Amino acid sequence: MKKIYDNIILGAGPAGLSAAIYSGRARVDTLLIEKDLVGGQVADTNDIQNYPGQMVEGESGPDLVDRMSRQVDKFGADRVTDTIQSMDLEGEVKVLHGVNGDYKGRNVILATGSYSRKMGCENEDQFIGKGISFCATCDANFFEDFDVYVVGGGDAAVEEAIYLTKFAKKVTIIHRRDKLRATESIQERAFSNDKLDFIWDSVVEEVDGDPILNKMVLKNVKTGEKQVIEADPEDGLFGLFVFIGHLPNTDLFKDQVKLSDRGYVLTDENMQTNIPGVYAAGDVREKAFRQVVTACADGAIAALMVEKSLTEY
């Protein structure tokens, strides 16, 4: 691609979409690149309750993302679907090398988000997609009237467990502590749900099955005692949904952009990284809170800073 964009945004989650809306509306020549489905993690979220201005009666991630995406189109940002394999971020013109071609821009906003953290138990990779899932909205219907287990104790884990009760015969939350970390309002909903049960102070040590998941071994982190859980013989399987946090998608640029000890991109309050003309926004950035609203704010700030830099230039 010979064209040099004023702004390239990598990633079309809430941060990237917000950046594209602000950048496009400011008449900045903008390209939005996404390798997969638009929306990032929020597209897998069934129920959003705290996004300002959302539908009060209820809002799903896909609906919110769809409206954001249509705003991007309204304000004229170019869009392309491609997988970026490497990038050269130093210099006045940045180059992103994709499977389908190269993309050049004077500024780049990294909005690559994060991905689900695995449990790290024995045989885990073998059963991803065969009983183990990281997305309740995507896979809940596969486990209708089956037993389902959810690993985690934060907001996401408990909210998704509540959602899974609409489909599963019973949902059991497995948490490594003796109390949930979710907010009080979410906990209240969980404890009042008759289809939710809890296994405390425990982690999944091993999963097994042939060919699908039907057995796992839990270990009590306080006593060391092990518990074997097997699927109901009539069912032959159970679901295991994992919500224990995320890791940043920084492999593409980790050798160029400065990262924190935890692997997230370090920026100043204006989303600027250590490289001039390179910004980061959303869950990929080191910060205290990772919510849709904070991702959108990051994207807006980064886009405004790009516009300001172009005006000053």
Please answer whether residues 266 and 259 qualify as being in contact, where contact means their C-beta atoms are separated by less than 8 angstroms: yes
Q: What is the DSSP letter of 67?
A: H
**Residue carrying structure tokens 């996401």:** 156
**Those residues with Cβ within 8 angstroms of residue 107's Cβ, 6 or more apart along the chain or in another chain:** 6, 7, 8, 94, 277, 278, 279, 306, 309, 310
CA-CA distance, 214 to 236, in Å (whole number)? 6
Residue 283 bears catalytic tag: no
CA-CA distance, 179 to 300, in Å (whole number)? 37
| DSSP assignments along 3-48, one per residue | -EESEEEE--SHHHHHHHHHHHHTT--EEEEESS-TTGGGGG-S-B
Question: Measuring CA to CA, which residue among 277, 292, 286 is closest to residue 5?
Answer: 277
Which residue of the set 6, 29, 44, 139 is catalytic?
A: 139
**Those residues with Cβ within 8 angstroms of residue 268's Cβ, 6 or more apart along the chain or in another chain:** none
Is residue 196 classed exposed, middle or buried when 0-12, 13-18 and 19+ CB atoms within 10 A define those classes?
A: buried
Which residue of the set 82, 88, 135, 208 is catalytic?
A: 135
Is residue 186 classed exposed, middle or buried when 0-12, 13-18 and 19+ CB atoms within 10 A define those classes?
A: buried
Which residue of the set 47, 73, 125, 138 is catalytic?
A: 138
Q: How is residue 127 written in tokens?
A: 């059963």
Residue 138 bears catalytic tag: yes
Residue 121 bears catalytic tag: no
Question: Measuring CA to CA, which residue among 3, 9, 18 is closest to residue 72?
Answer: 18
Catalytically active residues are 135, 138-139
